[in-house]
Each structure stands twice: as C-alpha cells, then as structure tokens.
C-alpha cells in the first residue's frame, strides 16, 4: 500500500474535510539546485509531504546561491519551503537500503541527476517498482533518459540553447542573450509537475506507477510556438527581434515623457481601435496601413514610431490611466521595488511572509495557482540545516530510535 492509499499523516493529525488537495501524498525529493527541487516545491505548496534528501557530507549548493543576509542564502528558504529535511548517503549500500525502506511508504520520487546515477546506486525504477509497484519516479535531466545525448551533462543554460529560446532572445545586432532567470529549469519543473500529477491520476485506475521523463531542452522547445512549421513550411527562421514579436503589432515598449518605458499590447483589431482612440487619433484605425493584423505587421516600425510619439507627450501614470480607461493592455516594467509596493500584489497575497529562524519575517512569492475551495499553503521556510528532520522522519516512518540514529550519524550514513 502506498502512502496516498493509506492516507498516512506523519504528524498524527486527524483527516480533515478541508485538507490540502495533495495531503497524503508522500514525495522523496533527491537531486539538487533547481529543476527537481522546484517540482517538489510546487507539490508541497498544495499539501504533499516533501522529504528533501541531502547527502550528509554535501548539502544542496542552493543553500548558498543568490544574495545573502547574515550568511544565509535568500533563495533556499523559498525553494525548500514546506519540505522536511533529512540526510542520507546514497553512495553506500546501507544508505541505499534505507532509501528502499522509505520507498515502501512513498508515492513519488523526484530526481534530477545525470541519467544512470540512480542505476549506479542500485536504485533504478525497475528495482524500486518491485518494492512499491505504485511508485512514480519523476526524472528531470538535460536531454532525457533516452537518445544519443542522454549521458551528457545538461544544465538549464544548455537546455535553453538547444531548445531554441536563446537564439530568439536579445537584439538582432547583438549575440544571443539569456533571460534574467533560470527559465529552462523552471519550465522543466512545470512540465515535470504536470507529468507527475498526470501519473498520479492514472494510478487511480491502474494501481501502477511509472517514470515521468522530463528533459530541459524539450521543455524549452515545447513553448517555442510555431518555430518549426515557420521553418519547414514557410522557410522562415525566427531570429532575435528585441522587444517586438514577428508578425504581431503593436506590441512593444514605449518611452514616456518622464523617461520611463511602458509596455503596450494592442495587436488585436478591437484593442488597436481602442488604442487609436486613446491616442486621440481614431482615424488611424481606418488607415489601410494599419486596419488589419497583416497590415500592422508589415508597417510595424512606422506604427511603433507613431505610438511612441504619443507616449513621449504623456507622463507615465497619465498614459497608463488613459490606456486603462480605454481597455488597452498596458503597464509598467516592474522592478522588485514596484512589485512590493503594488496594491494588486498585496490584495492577491502574492508576497507572503513566514518566520525564518535567524532572519525573522521572510518575504517570498505566494502560492500559484489559486484554488477557490482548496487553496495551497506555505507553512514554513526551508530547513536552515540539512538533516533537521532526521529524528522525525526516520523515527516515525522507519521506527529508528535515538541510539540507531546516533550510530548511523557517526558512520555518516545519515
């Protein structure tokens, strides 16, 4: 029986009608840094019990990534929120056996090692499925578990390059650029989460688990819109276009009177008509150069110049108010300062605070998406030290006593 089927609650709480949607699902999270742990974070936000496993002699490097405050990394508390932390040496035979014992009462394993690592540790899916036929193994890697590139080291940056997004990011007169966040890892985590929940749902019918195989490059490639038919059917290779979208106009950034840039997206016919009215030039909509989607695309540069000639005459807030009144999608390009001061973020509880053991109130993004009846929840920040929950997890699940735990710790098994 899996943890989901038995509805085991490690904290001994009675089952509630209003419980979180993934409560009762137990996840063993292996791997480090971004793609795998972000999948764990998303499942944990909706109530899954996430047991984060780190090596006793080599903690997750993400603990030290990002900016630091009083020696504490500021990314870790977000990425590892809602997770319980244990240590386990999977490079040893005894550590592998302990992991297999944990698998007996687990629903999902998340790992993002190079393909072959789990097999090297005698922890292949086939071996673990013999122990627990319902186990779901979510595997995220640069190139996937099959194919000629599967054994290559694959970070998010390489996946972004191979997936095609780097080639279209930046300006045409400059080298390809990266997006300002680890978008490849994040996309892989999102697809891995979708796959995991799909496999979990399917298990209700078959009673069997399966492997969820997510490649970073494929996750990036999957959001590349019509890049392939553009090339194969129309002979068009999409390249770097700066702030515009090929064939979509107007959709750009425009400078205002007070030297601030705003975003305006008005490529649909009805929206463009409202933009012309907002600019005080309703006749533009009837101009043959702009009155169809294709015509606006053909005359994109000239149209953008006309729009910016108007925005340069307006203070930023005035322009945004006029556009909002007319129903034209527009907005500031937000900095972190703009985000924390915005009333909409506050009203939607998109910046929440949880107590950090050394830093006090710790701000972080709220839960996405928002469920109306069973919303997600952030109960606590990531554990400040690896193995913080060893006694809880090994004691409750495997019934290890203090003496056993001390002995395993001394031998660096945990």
Cβ(262)–Cβ(324) under 8 Å? Answer: no
Residue of 117, 216, 204, 202 lying closest to 165 (CA atoms)? 216
Say whether 286 is catalytic.
Answer: no
In the Cβ-directed half-sphere of 75, how many Cα atoms lie within 13 Å?
A: 15
Q: Give strand pairing partners of 214.
A: 140
Catalytic option among 185, 213, 304, 389:
185
* Beta pairing, strands 108-111 & 26-29: parallel
Contacts of 246 (CB under 8 A, 6+ apart): 238, 297
Residue of 153, 152, 212 lying closest to 188 (CA atoms)? 212
Q: For 358, which DSSP code?
A: T
Please give the angle made by the CA atoms of 349, 318 and 252, to the nearest 5 degrees.
75
Continuous segment of H or E residues that includes residue 343: helix 343-347
CA distance 318 to 257: 10
Cβ(255)–Cβ(316) under 8 Å? Answer: no
Residue 327: cis peptide before it, omega within 30 degrees of 0:
no
The catalytic residues are 185
């Amino acid at each position: 029986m899996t943890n989901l089927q038995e509805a085991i609650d490690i904290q001994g709480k009675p089952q509630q009608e209003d419980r979180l949607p993934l409560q009762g699902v137990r996840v063993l999270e292996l791997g480090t840094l971004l793609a795998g742990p972000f999948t764990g974070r998303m499942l944990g936000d909706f109530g899954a019990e996430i047991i984060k496993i780190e090596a006793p002699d080599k903690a997750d490097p993400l603990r030290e990534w990002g900016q630091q405050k009083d020696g504490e990394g500021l990314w870790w508390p977000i990425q590892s929120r809602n997770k319980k932390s244990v240590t386990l040496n999977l490079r040893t035979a005894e550590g592998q056996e302990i992991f297999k014992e944990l698998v007996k009462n687990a629903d999902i394993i998340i790992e993002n090692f190079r393909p072959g690592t789990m097999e090297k540790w005698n922890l292949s899916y086939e071996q673990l499925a013999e122990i627990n036929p319902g186990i779901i193994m979510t595997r995220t890697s640069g190139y996937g578990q099959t194919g000629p590139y599967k054994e290559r080291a694959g970070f998010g940056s390489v996946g972004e390059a191979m997936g095609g997004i780097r080639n279209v990011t930046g300006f045409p007169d400059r080298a390809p650029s990266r997006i300002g966040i680890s978008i490849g890892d994040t996309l892989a985590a999102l697809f891995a989460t979708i796959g995991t929940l799909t496999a979990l749902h399917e298990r209700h019918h078959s009673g069997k688990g399966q492997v969820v195989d997510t490649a970073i490059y494929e996750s990036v490639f999957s959001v590349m819109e019509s890049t392939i038919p553009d090339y194969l059917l129309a002979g068009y290779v999409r390249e770097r276009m700066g702030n515009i979208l090929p064939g979509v106009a107007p959709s750009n950034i425009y400078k205002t009177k007070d030297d601030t840039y705003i975003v305006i997206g008005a490529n649909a016919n009805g929206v463009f008509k409202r933009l012309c009215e907002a600019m005080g030039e309703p006749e533009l909509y009837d101009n043959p150069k702009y009155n169809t989607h294709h015509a606006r695309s053909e005359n994109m540069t000239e149209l953008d110049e006309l729009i910016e000639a108007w925005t340069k005459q307006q203070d930023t807030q005035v322009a945004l108010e006029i556009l909002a009144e007319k129903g034209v999608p527009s907005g500031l390009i937000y900095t972190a300062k703009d985000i924390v001061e915005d009333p909409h973020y506050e009203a939607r509880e998109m910046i929440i605070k949880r107590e950090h053991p050394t830093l006090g109130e710790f701000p972080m993004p709220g839960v996405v998406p928002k469920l109306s009846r069973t919303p997600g929840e952030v109960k606590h920040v990531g554990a400040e030290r690896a193995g913080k929950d060893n006694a809880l997890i090994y004691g409750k699940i495997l019934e290890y006593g203090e003496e056993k735990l001390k002995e395993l710790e001394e031998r660096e098994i945990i």
